[in-house]
Each structure stands twice: as structure tokens, then as C-alpha cells.
Amino acid sequence: MAKTFDKYLKYALEDLQKLFTDCANNNKVFYSRQLEIIFEGKYFHWITNRAVRELIESGFLNTETHTIRNSGEINLVWHKSSRNYKRSAKNVLSLVEEYSNNLISYEIGSYAEDKVLEAFAMNKFLLEARGANEFKGYKWISSNHDLDFIFSKDGIDYGIEVKNMLGYMDKNEFDLKRDICHTLNIIPIFVYRMLPKNWIDELADYGGFSLIMKYQFYPYYLKEIAKKIRDELGLPVDSPKKIEDGTMRRVLNWHNKNVEKKKNQQN
């Protein structure tokens, strides 16, 4: 495991060095989470983050820490040879503050849940409960956490958890939500923008399903903000009016396999 981590860390360092060398002349500034997401097709977020920290420690990158209202601290980074980086830094901070606004954050979370609810209902999943920690006589009592939705279809019950965020969710919360589903005797479906592949495999081994959206959803009326974030920061955000049929087809195909499995077990 350590050798694999070291190998990918080496590749991440090389890719980051190339990116920042190419950007040095235009004084482009990035922040850590942004880089994690830009390279998530190749590396886990924590590998990119480690590579960024090593490049800062080596002096290849310069960095500044800023406080963002409602969102804690942000670490800006730029190539050591960049001299006129301040305008780029100001633009990055302005955009991050804009999308970290409490109202926008709330709207983003609610919008994703509404679109998931709509998509499952349109595909004839029956909503059994919302914000639930008990179901059919089973109850989760280890904490105050609950599941976003419980749906059923063809006699099979599913616990749905929705996370519309740029970064990975906390692994402890991932495990906890899975454990709630286990306690309630239902199958987990986790709807996330992105998860590490080993977490996806872990949930599959458990019998669950990861519906990866790839994009963070913004309400349609915020489409101009979403476009600005996408164009200027290169982040995967979109403002769809609905979840695409092809996306839900992945869930339906998996569900149909569960139906067949259930029939075989009953025969």
C-alpha cells in the first residue's frame, strides 16, 4: 500500500510541477481543494493534497492562507517565479466567497435533494420516509443522524443519502450512513458528486450502490454563478433542470439485478 501511495505521489508531483510551470508566466493562483478536484480523475484528493504540501515545503510553490467568511481558511498557492499574482489571488478569493455564501450553500444542498427526490419518483420508486432513522420496526439509536430518504420499489427498500459537495465526504460519516442502512435492514444508495474508487468498491461489496454525479448541482436560477465558477476555476459545477434519464438508468439496471437476485433466493 505504501509503495502504491509513493508511486502515485511521484506522478502527482510531476503533474503539479508541469501545471504550475505552464501557469507561471500568467501568474495563475490556485487553492488546494481546487487542485484536488482538477486532478481527481488521476489521483485521490489526499494524494494531490500531499503533493501540494511537499511542493510548498520544497519552495517550488508559494502560499498564503486566507479566511473565507462562512467557510474557514483557504490556502492559495502559486509558482515561486510568479510576481504579479495578486490580481489572480483576489479573483479566486472573490469567487470562493461567492459560492461559500450560506444561502447559496443551503440552496445547493436543497436543490440536489429535490432533484434526487423527483428523479426517483419519476422512475416509480415509492417514497417511504424522509429524514428518517427508523423504518419497519428498526431504529438507529447510536446517534442523532438519519437518512435523507427511504424509497421502495418491487418490494425492495433503499436508504438514499445525498451529498452535493465538491470534496469527498468525511469517511466516518460515510461509514455511519452505511451502518444506519444496515440497522434499518435496507440497501444503501449514496448519491454523491464524487467518491474515491475504493469507497465505491467498499459500498458495492456491502450490497449498496454509488450514484456518482461528477458535477455539483446549482439551482437553475444560479446558472450564471455556476458558469463563472466552471469557467474561471475549472470546477465541475452545473445547473441542470433535472437528473438525466441515462443517470437514473444506472440505478434501474442495478435495481433490476436486485429484483432477479431476490426472485432466485425465493425459489
Q: What tens digit of pLDDT does each residue of 84-96 get?
A: 889 999 999 988 8
Of the candidate CATH numbers 1.10.1740, 1.10.155, 1.10.10, 2.40.128, the domain formed by 2-100 belongs to 1.10.10
Question: Torsions phi, psi of 196, nearest 5?
Answer: -60, 145
- pLDDT in 10s for each residue of the chain, 267 residues: 566 668 899 999 999 999 999 877 678 999 999 999 999 999 999 999 999 999 999 999 999 999 887 668 899 999 999 888 899 999 999 888 888 777 788 888 899 999 999 999 999 999 999 999 999 999 999 999 999 999 999 999 999 999 999 999 999 999 999 999 999 999 999 999 999 999 999 999 999 999 999 999 999 999 999 999 999 999 999 999 999 999 999 999 999 999 998 888 887
pLDDT, tens digit, for every residue of 173-203?
999 999 999 999 999 999 999 999 999 999 9
Decide which of 3.40.50.620, 3.40.1350.10, 3.30.540.10, 3.10.20.90 is the CATH code for 103-266. 3.40.1350.10
| pLDDT at 109 (0 to 100) | 85
H runs (alpha helix) in 100-222: 102-122, 171-183, 197-205
Residues of the chain with CATH 1.10.10: 2-100
Which DSSP helix (H) or strand (E) runs through 146? none
State the Cα angle at 10 between 9 and 11, rounded to 5°: 90
Which residue has 465526504 as its cell numbers?
169
Residue 29 phi/psi, 5° resolution? Answer: -110, 140
Which segments of the chain belong to CATH 3.40.1350.10?
103-266
Calpha distance 29→224 (Å, rounded): 22
Question: What is the amino acid identity at position 119?
Answer: A
The CA-based dihedral angle spanning residues 215, 219, 107, 109, taken in that order and rounded to the nearest 10 degrees = -30
Gap between the Cα atoms of 163 and 161, Å rounded: 7
